[in-house]
Amino acid sequence: MAQQIVEKEILEILEKNRQKCAVCQKCSLGKSRTKSVFSGGIPNHKLMLIGEAPGYWEDQKGEPFVGKAGILLDKIFASVGLSRQNDVYICNTLKCRPPDNRNPLPEEKAACREYLDVQVGLLKPKIILLCGNIAVQSFLEGSRGITRVRGQWFDGPYGSKMMPIFHPSYLLRNDTREKGGPKWLMWQDIQEIKRVYDSLS
């Protein structure tokens, strides 16, 4: 019963932060966005994916990973029996879309960090997937880029294990399935992620 009360409190705090984020004006992106994009999937303590920033469709719908990249992400999870509806909490480094999908500015990332810290701090997921360079740079200071760190486990906040993975939009641009190519590497990574996921209590 006590556990249920704690879980209810977590959901309530997440919802309060979602509402706060929806009217946030801490940086200039608050003026240009259509909708803030706080999270998707299901809040849980096992698996969280942190992406980069919303794109066009995410900005329109207020949900992360709903365009072509999101469809591919769902297929990647489904290939090992996972789904955003049942297993994964999804959020982004930035909650608002940068104009023309440019990279986030340092001040934008700093302004948005409080929301990300609340999400990670409340859920304390055991596995965090850092999806793309922007997410990697937010947690691994001085990192060398996604192609050199992907597929490796790193120690994360609250005792979590973090793995950098390719962003699905990168996989869409590099469509080859040849051994050693990005899609082949992603297949190795998602199998390793599922192995560790299944080992969690």
pLDDT at site 4: 60
User: Do the domain assignments include residue 7?
Assistant: no
Mean pLDDT by 10 residues, the chain (201 residues): 68 96 96 97 97 96 95 97 97 96 93 97 97 93 84 96 96 87 95 97 72
| CATH number of the domain that residue 100 is part of | 3.40.470.10
pLDDT at site 201: 72
pLDDT at site 6: 59
User: Do the domain assignments include residue 2?
Assistant: no
User: Do the domain assignments include residue 9?
Assistant: no
pLDDT at site 32: 95
pLDDT at site 1: 45
pLDDT at site 178: 87
User: Do the domain assignments include residue 191?
Assistant: yes
pLDDT at site 52: 95
User: Do the domain assignments include residue 81?
Assistant: yes
The reported pTM is 0.94
User: Do the domain assignments include residue 157?
Assistant: yes
Q: In total, how many domains does the chain have?
A: 1
Residue 46: strand, helix, or coil = coil
CB atoms near residue 102 (< 10 Å) = 9
pLDDT at site 144: 74
pLDDT at site 53: 96
User: Do the domain assignments include residue 3?
Assistant: no
Residue 51: strand, helix, or coil = strand
User: Do the domain assignments include residue 85?
Assistant: yes
* Residue 115 tokens, joined: 């929301």
Closest CA to 45 of 201, 179, 184, 168: 201
**Which domain covers residue 91, as residue numbers?**
31-199
